[in-house]
Chain A
């Protein structure tokens, strides 16, 4: 349980949920602030507007009454100017459900004050013909600031005021509401976020589970869900592609092991068989010598195979770094060709060389590796050429620098040509040398040329003219 919890806290699901809640909270704060400011502003504007309107209408009534209120004399109807002014501005006050504070003074003499003012008198000051909105602090009236429309026109100073209490309380309520609601929303957002991330990531768990089940024994099983076009579909496709790559490289390794052991089995069979026969019954000295000679040859063959296998493994694992230098192609090839002259003479083969007039042609390559390529190609040509034929070696320096070797062997079926580069190809069709099978030789050639990004092409026609061309 604790482990699970720990696992949960480290999970993307938890992280996503946290982010979700955090962003939700941030949005809430921003939105709340906007609402707060907006409500505050709107209410204040409304209040200001209504205070202003009231002040204006009081002025209008007072002004239009044509009564000299400044020099008020009590009479039977009105004992104080207040009563008179009240009557005059009654209509304006009637629209005053909020019970505003009103104070009217003429030439700095207060002629009217609403009863709710009590003993409080608003300060007046001189401003020329202006309507201004000011805040009074009158603790006796309200502990909140009092908003007032101060209307100053001619001799009249009219103040219509109202405490900001309502607005403040509304805003306070809003804040209270917010404080209560915010954590609720936070919890809700966490739950919702958790649910959403669970839903979104549920397929990940499935993918993890299925992937976990895959090992080298069931590489044939692929993950389901490739048909979806979303991220999960892409992930599944990627994993499946990876699985296929792993599978093919394992198959390749298996094939390599099988082929390698096959290749080793032939000389081992010969060694074992011949030696066993030698031990089985007494032989003449000549027969023993023959068996020793043959065993020695097979041992050399084994060494050769092992060395080539090792070389190919190194190539496969990119353990070989090219040591690229400027190589004089003509010089390199003529050296190798000279080395082969003795063997070709023994086999009654003629070596023909055709090089361009310019005797120095340079290419960038690993000289030793390239030497191996030419040796293998020449070796094949010598091995598989029919008796008393010609081997033609051409270097061209035209659009590209190229090397070709042409010899006459048994015809190779067209469909088999691409397979010549396959490792142990000679094995697969059997070890028949007449068919032009070449075992590891050509696959080493191809490997080295691939490393150099040089191209090789092999052609063979029905007359058995075999041509290998390398373009540098």
Chain B
């Protein structure tokens, strides 16, 4: 899951990035409004964490502009402004959630999980495909209730595919949601990770969960 953090206070942005990466998210950071808007418009994110008071372009303007561009990525506003009016304005401008600083990191993570759930087929923190289970809170995968050890990237790819189960996901799309900004999509690194995942998940099982759609991408089937 790829998250954009638009936050001008470098240390705040830095610990958010670190903390999210510990949770297997890939994180891009923009330190001002212009850069934030540019990234939000050009890249594909699963979530945007947006500060309101930003240099060059404030958060609400960014929010309105990305919604005008028909980008409906969930947006969580993270700001020091905490009056009811601020919250109402933020949510009415198209934000999906609002968290006031200083915030609890656990709460931020829970809200991120909640926002990501909205667009996935499973509406709780346990994603299921056949007898494969993925606990998005504990970051653990189980097949037939046996835990499977996954690396961060493997987990990220699996989570993205499971959130979009029964849909074919292209390599490009997958890499877009797994990697940060400076990733070269021409490499075959995704194929390598998929192979590793297959070895861990499908090997020894009669029923395959990860399917390859030739020339298009990958797919996780639920049945």
Give residues in A with beta carbon < 8 Å to B.
Answer: 261-262, 265-266, 268-274, 276-277, 280-281, 294, 298, 427-432, 434-435
Contacts and interface: CB of A to CB of B under 8 A. Distances in A.
Given A273-B105, A277-B18, A430 B54 contact: yes
A272 B19 contact: no
A277 B106 contact: no
B76 to A, nearest CB: 15
Contact of A430 (B19, B53, B101, B105): B53
Question: By CB atoms of chain B within 10 A, which of A261, A281, A430 has the most?
Answer: A430
Nearest to B57: A430
A298 B12 CA distance: 11
Nearest to A434: B55
B53 A270 contact: no
B9 interface: yes
A273 B55 contact: no
Contacts of A272: 102-105
- Ranked nearest first, the 7 interchain pairs of A and B with the lowest CB-CB distance are A432-B55, A269-B102, A265-B80, A430-B53, A269-B101, A268-B102, A276-B105
Contacts of B18: 277
Interface string B93-124: 00000000111111000000000000000000
Contacts of B104: 272, 276
Interface string B44-79: 000000010111001000000000000000000000
B103 A431 contact: no
B167 to A, nearest CB: 33
B55 A269 contact: no
A281 B15 contact: no
Contacts of A294: 11
Contacts of B53: 427-431
Given A265-B101, A427-B53, A280 B22 contact: yes
B81 interface: yes
B8 A269 contact: no
Nearest to B81: A262
Contacts of A265: 80, 101-102
Interface in B6-37: 8-9, 11-12, 15-16, 18-19, 22, 32
A273 B19 CA distance: 9
A269 B19 contact: no
Nearest to B31: A432
Contact of A277 (B22, B32, B101): B22
Contacts, number: 70
Contacts of B54: 430, 432
Contacts of A434: 55
B9 A270 contact: yes
B58 to A, nearest CB: 8
A427 B15 CA distance: 21
A269 B32 contact: no
Given A277-B105, A428-B53, A430-B53, A270 B11 contact: yes
Contacts of B55: 429-430, 432, 434-435
Contacts of A277: 15, 18-19, 22, 105
A160 to B, nearest CB: 106
Given A273-B16, A274-B15, A435-B55, A280 B102 contact: no
Contacts of B80: 261-262, 265-266, 269
A68 B101 CA distance: 138
9 contacts: A262-B80, A262-B81, A266-B12, A270-B12, A273-B103, A276-B104, A281-B22, A428-B53, A431-B53
A165 B79 CA distance: 106
Question: By CB atoms of chain B within 10 A, which of A273, A281, A298 has the most?
Answer: A273
Given A262-B80, A274-B11, 8 more contacts: A266-B9, A268-B101, A269-B80, A270-B11, A271-B102, A273-B105, A276-B104, A432-B55
Nearest to A287: B18
Interface in B112-159: none
A247 to B, nearest CB: 19
A298 B81 CA distance: 20
Contacts of B9: 266, 269-270, 431
A277 B14 CA distance: 12
B12 A273 contact: yes
Question: By CB atoms of chain A within 10 A, which of B15, B81, B106 has the most?
Answer: B15
B32 A432 contact: yes
A423 to B, nearest CB: 16
Contacts of B102: 265, 268-269, 271-273
Contacts of A428: 53
Nearest to B19: A277
A431 B15 contact: no
A268 B9 CA distance: 12
A429 B53 CA distance: 7
Contacts of B81: 262
A156 to B, nearest CB: 116
A276 B106 contact: yes
Interface in B150-187: none
Contacts of B105: 272-273, 276-277, 280
A272 B54 CA distance: 21
Nearest to B53: A430
